[in-house]
């Protein structure tokens, strides 16, 4: 009885992964190998069950890597990937620069205050992501809140153009993903034994050196988790560049959207998605490794 129960509970996550990750992945992969054809469904070959095994093999033979070759020839895609990675990379750095001090402050706050601070970090999730990004339009547009404030303060004479630029995209990403940076770092810092910092100081470290050698060093797993939680979705981000970015903001999420919904090109967009996934597998594996190491250390 207990054994059967255990087997079922182990089976559930595998089943979940199989149905909601592996199967869709295989379908997308298969579409990326197909040939575009207008009309419905928009690609060939289609599997035809009535054709039996021989038809299945014929179909397989028609699959090819032409879409991937096409991606390689068109500079637009390459630039979109590079631009996405660059934007994601720098947004991650900025999120880290803001998130770490926030998390540190939270972890050092008195025990009674911590849940409140944690609540404040999580609170934005209660509003729809889309609405929060829209709100930034109101803040960043030429006659928006930010410009009015700066004009009123006399910092600037004419409104700044922020909306529809990469700057707005950075602001949007950093704002939206900040909690994903703060929470894992906070989790590691909160567990940090303060006696370790005292021990470092006792052995001759200044407060700053102790911070560097102990606090920062021991929060690496949290920093790694935070960075990946920000970087990975930021690379594929579509909503933020679409709403806040300009016509020259090139991000792979936007290209994918255009290929799929505007051009109806299922095969190219599937190939784009596959390449994106491959690019992201590297940080995902790194993330997994960092997690495994962190859990091992805790034992």
Comparing CB distances to other proteins, the nearer of 248 and 297 is 297
Count Cβ atoms within 10 A of the Cβ of residue 46 and give its class: 0-12 exposed, 13-18 middle, 19 or more buried: exposed
Beta carbons of 80 and 162 less than 8 angstroms apart:
no
Beta carbons of 223 and 100 less than 8 angstroms apart:
yes
d(CA 105, CA 224): 19
Phi, psi (rounded to 5 degrees) for 32: -65, -20
Comparing CB distances to other proteins, the nearer of 74 and 198 is 198
CB atoms closer than 10 angstroms to residue 14: 10
d(CA 117, CA 113): 6
102 Cβ contact partners less than 8 Å away, ≥ 6 residues apart: 121, 178, 182
Least distance from other proteins to the Cβ atom of residue 210, Å: 8
Comparing CB distances to other proteins, the nearer of 88 and 218 is 218
Beta strands in the chain (DSSP E): 35-36, 43-44
Comparing CB distances to other proteins, the nearer of 1 and 195 is 195
Q: Is 43 helix (H, G, I), strand (E, B) or coil?
A: strand
d(CA 137, CA 244): 7
Q: Which residues bind other proteins (CB under 8 A)?
A: 193, 195-196, 198-207, 209, 214, 217-218, 297-299
Least distance from other proteins to the Cβ atom of residue 212, Å: 12
Comparing CB distances to other proteins, the nearer of 61 and 297 is 297
Least distance from other proteins to the Cβ atom of residue 204, Å: 4
Q: 235 is written with which tokens?
A: 């690379």
Comparing CB distances to other proteins, the nearer of 76 and 207 is 207
Comparing CB distances to other proteins, the nearer of 80 and 214 is 214
Least distance from other proteins to the Cβ atom of residue 183, Å: 22
199 Cβ contact partners less than 8 Å away, ≥ 6 residues apart: none
Least distance from other proteins to the Cβ atom of residue 202, Å: 5
d(CA 47, CA 24): 16
- List the one residue out of 111, 114, 102 whose CA is nearest residue 219: 102
Comparing CB distances to other proteins, the nearer of 100 and 231 is 100
Least distance from other proteins to the Cβ atom of residue 108, Å: 16
Least distance from other proteins to the Cβ atom of residue 195, Å: 4
CA 14, distance to chain mean position in Å, is 23
Least distance from other proteins to the Cβ atom of residue 283, Å: 22
């Amino acid at each position: 009885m207990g054994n059967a129960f255990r087997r079922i509970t182990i089976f559930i996550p595998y089943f979940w992964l199989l149905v909601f990750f592996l199967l869709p992945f295989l379908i997308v992969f298969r579409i990326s190998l197909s040939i575009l054809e207008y009309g419905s469904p928009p690609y060939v070959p289609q599997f035809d069950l009535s054709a039996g095994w021989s038809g299945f093999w014929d179909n397989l033979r028609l699959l090819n890597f032409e879409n991937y070759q096409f991606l390689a020839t068109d500079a637009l895609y390459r630039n979109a990937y590079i631009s996405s990675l660059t934007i994601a990379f720098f947004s991650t750095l900025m999120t880290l620069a803001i998130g770490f001090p926030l998390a540190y402050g939270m972890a050092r706050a008195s025990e009674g205050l911590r849940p409140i601070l944690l609540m404040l970090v999580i609170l934005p999730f209660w509003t729809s992501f889309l609405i929060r990004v829209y709100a930034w339009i109101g803040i960043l547009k030429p006659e928006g809140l930010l410009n009015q404030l700066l004009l009123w303060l006399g910092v600037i004479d004419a409104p700044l153009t922020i909306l529809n630029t990469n700057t707005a995209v950075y602001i949007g990403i950093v704002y939206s993903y900040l909690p994903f940076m703060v929470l894992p770092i906070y989790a590691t810092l909160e567990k940090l034994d303060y006696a370790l910092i005292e021990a470092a100081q006792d052995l001759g470290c200044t407060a700053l050196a102790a911070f560097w050698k102990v606090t920062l060093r021991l929060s690496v797993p949290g920093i790694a988790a935070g960075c990946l939680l920000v970087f990975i979705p930021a690379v594929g981000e579509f909503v933020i560049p679409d709403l806040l970015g300009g016509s020259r903001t090139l991000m792979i999420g936007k290209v994918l959207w255009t290929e799929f919904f505007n051009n109806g090109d299922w095969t190219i967009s599937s190939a784009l998605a596959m390449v994106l996934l491959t690019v992201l597998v590297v940080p995902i594996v790194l993330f997994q490794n960092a997690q495994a190491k962190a859990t091992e250390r805790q034992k």
